[in-house]
Amino acid sequence: MSERTLIAGAGIGGLATALALARQGARVTVFEARDQPGEAGAGLQLSANAVKALRFLGLEEAVAARATRPEAVELRLPGSGRLVSRVALGKTHETRFGAPYFHIHRADLYEVLAEAADAHAGIQVMTGARVVKVAHGKGAVAVELEGGATTDGDLLIGADGVRSTVREGVAGKDEPVFTGMVAWRACVPIEPGDQPPQVATVWMGRGRHLVTYPLTHRGVMNLIGVVEKSDWREESWSAEGAADEMRAEFGGWHKSVDMWLSRLETPLRWALYERHPLSVWSAGRVALMGDACHAMPPFLAQGAAMALEDAVVLARRIAAMPDDLTRALREYGEARHERTAKVQAASWANAWRFHLESGVLRFCVYGALGLASRVAPGQPGRMFDWIYGYDPAA
Ligand SMILES: Cc1cc2nc3c(=O)[nH]c(=O)nc-3n(C[C@H](O)[C@H](O)[C@H](O)COP(=O)(O)OP(=O)(O)OC[C@H]3O[C@@H](n4cnc5c(N)ncnc54)[C@H](O)[C@@H]3O)c2cc1C
């Protein structure tokens, strides 16, 4: 296979797609709008399905070297700190699903992908190159960049994020949808003597939740808070929110939470947008992947995982039918849309679970979760086996 592939966007999804295709012999050009692409200062959870995609790319070890392996995820109540439910990760996750569960700093994952792309002779990443139009050229597809230059290729992959430009050519004109939620992000230093447990803790408040987990490789605690808020729609990875505002949202929840919040400097804040699921992911030789296609709320920590899976499935479809790229792209979408839509719906269900307002509902739902946890400790979390057990390379 030696087709010329154009990719719009060098995020996690675009770089993973470039690597998946290049390892099969494709020549790939990635156009990245930003002059200095990278990832914001925050953590990312990578479950077994995502790690299996990284394994396909030959990057599992490099990622593992920078990742933390959490022992469990715990659901807790603010105030009392009461443990509602605990899902074992660590060895349990690895044995059950065939790959480990990682916590990693986004910048570290990005660096692994970017270094691998850099080292591959078949991949060229052009920065400061914003795709503004899918144009007609001598090849099967062409893109027009800001400034007017055009480039031809045999196929084009839109990996250009939730505000995708490529999407319009596949899905028509539609806009990202505001979820009514705002996310806060921060990494604060772990100090000598802190010894935080190697778990992800989900603190479930009313209309809001906070997730905390250590990123040992970086010596920081990662904090992600999500608050239902309809009056703040600025979508940015880097809008700096005042530390006091974040403290006001989550302060007083627990002494450990207060300790981390006291070390905040400049948390990042942005509004959460999503894309409604698409059933058709390609038009001719143009296809979508990652957030450009299925941006979802982060309550299951699966957005990047889905992008990594997309990359592998896409490359494998193309390898299976190199003489009919239009069909390969169509079949890739057919293989992916149901799963990603189901993950998106499951993510919303978690939002409901994490943000319950009514005292009666909290008592019933968290009581039932707690009871299930005590009666059958191995069961909580099994409802997501279909997510983690999936292997995009199988
Ligand atoms: C609070 C929060 C927590 C999350 N936690 C997790 C988690 O724990 N685990 C997980 O799996 N996922 C998580 N996610 C989801 C994950 O971050 C995203 O799904 C993932 O980063 C999407 O990657 P992408 O490459 O598709 O898009 P992006 O990361 O948005 O990359 C798109 C790239 O395209 C570039 N671009 C945009 N327009 C153009 C253009 N016209 N031309 C050229 N380039 C362009 C952009 O500059 C960018 O570099 C979380 C998301 C949020 C908001």
E strand residue ranges, 216-298: 220-228, 268-274, 282-283, 286-288
User: What is the pTM for the complete model shown?
Assistant: 0.96
357 φ/ψ angles, rounded to the nearest 5 degrees: -95, -45
Active site residues: 213
In this prediction, residue 236 carries a pLDDT of 61
What is d(CA 58, CA 215) in angstroms, rounded to the nearest whole number? 23
In a domain, 359, yes or no: no
Identify the residue whose C-alpha is closest to ligand 1 atom 17: 304
Low-confidence ranges of the chain (pLDDT < 50): none
CATH number for 136:
3.50.50.60
In a domain, 16, yes or no: yes
Q: How many CB atoms lie within 10 A of CB 342?
A: 13
In this prediction, residue 235 carries a pLDDT of 63
Candidate from 44, 133, 165 with most ligand 1 atoms within 8 A of CB, to mutate: 44
Identify the residue whose C-alpha is closest to ligand 1 atom 49: 11
Find the 377 Cα to ligand 1 centroid distance in Å: 34
What is d(CA 10, CA 34) in angstroms, rounded to the nearest whole number? 9
In a domain, 269, yes or no: no
Identify the residue whose C-alpha is closest to ligand 1 atom 3: 298
Structural Rg of the chain based on CA atoms? 21
In this prediction, residue 269 carries a pLDDT of 87
In this prediction, residue 2 carries a pLDDT of 60
Closest of 93, 103, 84, 101 to residue 353, by C-alpha:
84
Closest of 38, 43, 106 to residue 70, by C-alpha:
43
Find the 295 Cα to ligand 1 centroid distance in Å: 8
Candidate from 160, 177, 347 with most ligand 1 atoms within 8 A of CB, to mutate: 160
Tell me the sheet residues that pair with 145: 131
Find the 323 Cα to ligand 1 centroid distance in Å: 31
Number of domains into which the chain is organized: 1
In this prediction, residue 97 carries a pLDDT of 97
What is d(CA 256, CA 13) in angstroms, rounded to the nearest whole number? 34
In this prediction, residue 304 carries a pLDDT of 97
Tell me the sheet residues that pair with 331: none
In a domain, 226, yes or no: no
Q: Exposure pattern of 174-190 as b/e (b: 16+ CB <10 Å)?
A: eebeebebbbbbbbbeb
Q: What is the pLDDT of residues 243-271, one digit of tens each?
A: 999 999 999 999 999 999 999 998 998 89
Find the 102 Cα to ligand 1 centroid distance in Å: 18
Q: Which atom of ligand 1 is nearest to the CA of 14?
A: 25
Question: Helices (H) and strands (E) in the chain — how many of each?
Answer: 13, 18
Q: Domain range spanning residue 163?
A: 4-69+101-176+275-354
In a domain, 205, yes or no: no
Identify the residue whose C-alpha is closest to ligand 1 atom 39: 160
In a domain, 198, yes or no: no
Residue type, 345: A
In a domain, 65, yes or no: yes
Q: Which atom of ligand 1 is nearest to the CA of 132?
A: 41
230 φ/ψ angles, rounded to the nearest 5 degrees: -95, -5
In a domain, 149, yes or no: yes
- List of residues 6+ apart from 289 with CB closer than 8 A: 13, 17, 157, 158, 159, 281, 307, 310, 311, 314
Q: How many CB atoms lie within 10 A of CB 244?
A: 11
Find the 313 Cα to ligand 1 centroid distance in Å: 18
In this prediction, residue 39 carries a pLDDT of 76
DSSP state of 239: P
Site residues for ligand 1, CB cut-off 6 Å = 8-14, 31-34, 37, 44-45, 50, 130-131, 159-161, 165, 183, 224, 272, 290-291, 298, 301-305, 307
E strand residue ranges, 251-362: 268-274, 282-283, 286-288
In this prediction, residue 270 carries a pLDDT of 85
